[in-house]
Amino acid sequence: MRRALRFALLPMLVSLAACGGGGGGSVTVVPPETLPDADVSAVAKSDPGSVLPATWKQGPFIEIYVRGYQDSDGDGIGDLKGLTQRLDYLKDLGVTGIWLMPVTQSQDNDHGYAVSDYRAIEKQYGSLADFDAFVAAAHARGIGVIIDYVMNHSAAQNPLFLNSSGAKDGARRDWYIWSSTKPSGWNIYGNDPWKSSSTGYYFAGFWDQMPDFNLRNASVLAYHHDSMRFWLNRGVDGFRFDAVGNLVENGPSAWEGQPENYVIMGDILSMLNGYQNRYMVCEAPIDPKGFSASSACGSAFAFGHNYDIVSAAKGSSSAVAAVANYFTGAPANMAAMVSNHDAFAGDRLWTQVNGNLPQYRLAVATYMLQPGVPFIYYGEEIGMANNNSLSGDWKLRTPMSWTADTTTAGFTTGKPFRAVSSNVATNNVAAQLGDANSLLSFYKALISVRKAHPALAAGSYDNPQANGWTMSFTRSTASETALVAINYGSTASSVNFTGLPAGASVSVAWPASGVGGAVTSGGSFSTTVQPQSFVVYTIAK
Ligand SMILES: [Ca+2]
Ligand SMILES: [Ca+2]
């Protein structure tokens, strides 16, 4: 969401206008009793339980754009049946969770963030039965499923907004934000959020086709809780929440990260924690650490840290220090990533490092070995590049590169809904699956090491050191300590870990060719880290 959306949506606005769809000014005033409305019935908690191990929440997760992942029926649009066919690939990769970008019925026919029905599956993706089958198949492989939930705004074509905008005395009027005169002084990411309609001015922070809900209205919050339970009751393992910095506005100079937002998310976390073994994570670039608090989302994406990770990988020593320090003041349950579906978070990693594989591996090792729940963006594991002939966010949301086919990428038997990634001919699953030296094999090996060592998946973060281009830290659980050193520089460096149990045996976890040793009588262990490489050791307690 956020800023980049504006660019992606411009062509869509034109097409909507061309087909007469839903501009605010075109709303027709009708008697309230004839207004459209949505099913807002209450949904009681009915927890089906969880078949997943508690460790599934440690990740790694993979973020998947269903429209771009796998088409099963040749219409050129990815769907749930296609995604289900790829679950064995995802299990083999080693992920323990999947974040699906919106799968609810939407108005945009693209990214899905303009939700027109919160309790229905996007028809282009399949049916509710297809969704249930997908979740069951993921669970059977030990993989959890979280889905995007968009609470800040709906589609303008959502019946709730059609009701709200259709008449000043409709049942849903107060479900959105209205003013009889146009408020002044507002600027949301460069846009005036107040849009005109025949019944007044409504607030839409991101796009005139995505009106903001009035989240001060208890009925609206109750509706969203009910809609979340609709999915949790079906076995969904949690949610990724969009734009939680934008939920409640308190004025033209107080519209982002307002105190009410933390309370709203904390109430949702409490509701979600009433179910077994669930997880939720928030998008809140305005305050990632604050929204990670257990009184708010419990976990939020570490925006900011991602830029430093990539800068460190590219050789910035000041960024190395920032990366080393990050988790000294950040909750360990934050979600870490190096790119996602939004351009404001950066290009695809391959494009950020211009295809430099040593730098690529260093960035990945950093976010896989530090604290935080790792989130891989689909295709990152094979080094998919942007398609820079596309604009805005679209360049990041191309069909998954399954094969070297430069037209279909192996994604569809038909014509893909969008051009494929620029480097599909070289970076694709088919080319990398059997290659022990491929990027895909690197991801699998690193994920395997992370999952094999609880200290890496869930340990503390201790003794972070940044010395020039080298970072080191230790991570511990009750049963083991992991020693990690990453050298981002172009010359070998030596690292000395101290404060360790005298005489303890030191085992190698990475690289496979490494050599272990023993802690000295003074409690130290020294090692040499080759240029642009990293080492991981473990000591059993
Ligand atoms: Ca399809
Ligand atoms: Ca809002």
Distance 430 CA to ligand 1 centre (A): 21
3-state secondary structure of 154: coil
Distance 327 CA to ligand 1 centre (A): 42
Contact 99, 279 (CB under 8 A): no
**For residue 105, which of 82, 128, 135 has the smallest C-alpha distance?**
128
Task: Kindly state the average pLDDT of the residues 451-470.
Answer: 97
Distance 395 CA to ligand 2 centre (A): 27
Average pLDDT score, the chain: 94
What's the confidence (pLDDT) of residue 27? 53
pLDDT at 171 over 80: yes
What's the confidence (pLDDT) of residue 34? 87
> What's the pTM?
0.94
Distance 75 CA to ligand 1 centre (A): 5
Distance 380 CA to ligand 1 centre (A): 23
Residues within 5 Å of ion ligand 2 by Cβ? Answer: 152, 212, 246
Residues within 5 Å of ion ligand 1 by Cβ? Answer: 71, 73, 75, 77, 79
What's the confidence (pLDDT) of residue 23? 39
Q: Which ligand is nearest to the CA of 249?
A: 2
What number of other Cβ atoms are within 10 A of residue 256's Cβ? 19
pLDDT at 96 over 60: yes
pLDDT at 213 over 90: yes
pLDDT at 11 over 60: no
Q: How far apart are CA 55 and CA 477, in angstroms?
A: 14
Per-residue pLDDT reduced to its tens digit, 373-424: 999 999 999 999 999 999 999 999 999 999 999 999 999 999 999 999 999 9
Measured in residues, the chain has a length of: 541
Q: Which ligand is nearest to the CA of 176?
A: 2
Per-residue pLDDT reduced to its tens digit, 420-446: 999 999 999 999 999 999 999 999 999
Distance 416 CA to ligand 1 centre (A): 10
The torsion region of residue 372 among left (phi > 0), alpha (psi -120 to 50) and beta comes to left
Please report which confidence band the pLDDT of residue 29 belongs to, taking 50, 70 and 90 as the band edges. Answer: low
Q: DSSP letter string over 28-87?
A: PP--GGG-----------------S-GGGGGS-EEEE-GGGT--SSSSSS--HHHHHHTH
Burial of 323 (0-12, 13-18, 19+ CB in 10 A): buried
The torsion region of residue 437 among left (phi > 0), alpha (psi -120 to 50) and beta comes to alpha
Q: Where are the alpha helices (DSSP H) in 314-465?
A: 317-326, 349-352, 357-369, 429-432, 439-452, 454-458
Q: Which ligand is nearest to the CA of 77?
A: 1
Q: Which tokens hold the place of 247?
A: 């939920």
Q: Which ligand is nearest to the CA of 215?
A: 2
Q: State the pairing for strand pair 144-149/194-197.
A: unpaired
pLDDT at 531 over 90: yes
Q: How far apart are CA 455 and CA 142, in angstroms?
A: 21
Per-residue pLDDT reduced to its tens digit, 53-62: 999 999 999 9
